[in-house]
């Protein structure tokens, strides 16, 4: 595989970093200072600036105003956007919309593209992916989905209970995963449906409070009560729900890794600058081995994570499913981000746990990264199965 990043991609990443530094981080700083939350008006102002700078929707076709970048090209661009939690929202590469755009781009028919994908790509709408359920439904094991869609003449009637639907407070439509045939293996018995928010039967119960400050768009709990949808609401085909989910979640794991690497890199820069200025015990903190090793370990682990992201992205670009490679990257990067942020908070001491710096906010937010899009334990299971398959035979 080639490790050199094309010049045009480097230029885009540099421009994205400048945009985040000049336009996004000042908004982030003001929100941290006041304790306020991002509003839609604030976001739309940032998005207008991103569009004016031709830094919009990195993965979408240029015909829709996007950058038209492929899975390998977005790696440094997403990292640059991820230097602030608001950066991906500003240039339209934040979860879950980014993953939903990828899914629709690959599987939506012409009517669905016009109705759902085109306005989403332009930033005119928001979306949500509705798969996770509260116990006893599907969490880390998606085969446990309880939500059902039953055929009634020409329609499908959906009943079920979902939660942690990111963007659910503002989503204009939901992509719903439901069981359509319980007589076959779940991998062949689930289907995805597209449902506008105002469809009768979609009942938003609450926004689920989560660790850290509230996220833009929330993480809602939903009841589907006799939600009636036409056959045309099916995305892909009947029984293809898991195949479509895998096509979405594999790249989405990597894009999470890219964005969070941006946060961790900026945290390392903040902590290093602080340590260089802060004097204690006879010199700057950077002269003390304990701090030097924390900085060195963080730099090494971030570099390893980037290499894993690049390899998995390269394999996806070759048409591979790269399930093991994306699992390895997800575990390594998620746990690296936690460790790096923890070290950076420690180095910055009192300032690290204060809201004067963004470190404590990131520290709280990053904890969920080891759970969503597959818990670390689940991805370790995927890797272990591959190791056993390849090396488990008795050696004579």
| Domain coordinates in residue numbering, the chain | 7-94, 127-239, 242-391
Burial (0-12, 13-18, 19+ Cβ within 10 Å), 26: exposed
Distance CA 57, CA 88 (A): 9
Q: What is the mean pLDDT of each run of 10 residues along the chain (396 residues)?
A: 88 98 98 95 98 97 93 97 98 97 97 97 97 93 94 97 97 98 93 98 97 94 98 98 92 96 98 97 97 98 98 95 96 98 98 96 97 95 96 74
Which CATH number, 3.30.1300.10, 1.10.540.10, 1.20.1440.130, 2.40.50.100, labels domain 7-94?
1.10.540.10
What confidence score (pLDDT) does residue 140 get?
86
CA distances from 233 to 181, 229, 303, 355, 373 (A): 17, 6, 43, 45, 25
Overall pTM > 0.85:
yes
CA distances to 147, 342, 346 from 287, rounded to whole Å, are 58, 20, 16
Closest Cα to residue 168, out of 104, 221, 103? 221
The pLDDT of residue 53:
97
Q: Which CATH architecture has domain 127-239?
A: Beta Barrel (2.40)
Q: What is the CATH number of domain 242-391?
A: 1.20.140.10
β-bridge partners, 230: 155
Q: Are strands 190-196 and 279-280 parallel, antiparallel or unpaired?
A: unpaired
Residue 141 burial by CB count (10 A; 0-12/13-18/19+): exposed, middle or buried?
exposed
């Amino acid at each position: 595989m080639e490790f050199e990043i094309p010049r045009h991609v480097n230029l885009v990443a540099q421009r994205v970093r400048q945009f985040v530094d000049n336009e996004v981080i000042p908004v982030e700083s003001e929100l941290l200072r006041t304790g306020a939350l991002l509003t839609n008006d604030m976001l739309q102002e940032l998005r207008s600036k991103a569009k004016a700078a031709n830094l919009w929707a990195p993965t979408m076709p240029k015909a829709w105003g996007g950058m038209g970048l492929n899975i390998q090209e977005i790696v440094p661009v997403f990292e640059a956007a991820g230097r602030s939690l608001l950066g991906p929202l500003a240039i339209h590469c934040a979860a879950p919309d980014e993953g939903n755009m990828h899914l629709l781009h690959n599987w939506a028919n012409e009517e669905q593209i016009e109705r759902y994908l085109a306005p989403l790509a332009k930033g005119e709408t928001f979306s949500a992916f509705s798969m996770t359920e509260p116990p006893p439904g599907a969490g880390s094991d998606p085969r446990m989905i309880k939500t059902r869609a039953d055929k009634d003449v020409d329609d499908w009637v959906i009943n079920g209970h979902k939660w942690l639907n990111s963007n659910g407070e503002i989503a204009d439509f939901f992509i719903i995963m439901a069981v359509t045939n319980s007589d076959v293996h779940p991998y062949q018995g689930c289907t995805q449906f597209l449902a506008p928010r105002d469809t009768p039967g979609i009942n938003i119960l609450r926004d689920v409070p989560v660790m850290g400050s509230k996220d833009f768009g929330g993480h809602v709990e939903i009841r589907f009560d006799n939600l009636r949808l036409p056959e045309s609401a099916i995305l892909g085909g009947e029984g293809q729900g898991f195949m479509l989910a895998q096509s979405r979640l594999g790249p989405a794991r990597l894009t999470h890794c890219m964005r969070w690497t941006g946060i961790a890199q900026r945290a390392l820069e903040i902590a290093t600058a602080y340590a260089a200025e802060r004097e204690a015990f006879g010199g700057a903190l950077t002269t003390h081995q304990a701090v030097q090793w924390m900085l060195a370990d963080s730099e090494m682990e971030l570099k390893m994570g980037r290499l894993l992201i690049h390899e998995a992205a390269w394999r996806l670009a070759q048409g591979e499913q790269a399930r093991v490679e994306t699992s390895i990257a997800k575990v390594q990067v998620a746990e690296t981000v936690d460790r790096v942020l923890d070290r950076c908070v420690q180095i910055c001491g009192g300032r690290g746990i204060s809201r004067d710096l963004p470190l404590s906010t990131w520290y709280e937010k990053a904890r969920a990264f080891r759970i969503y899009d597959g818990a670390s334990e689940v991805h370790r299971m995927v890797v272990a199965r591959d190791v056993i398959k390849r090396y488990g035979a008795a050696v004579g």
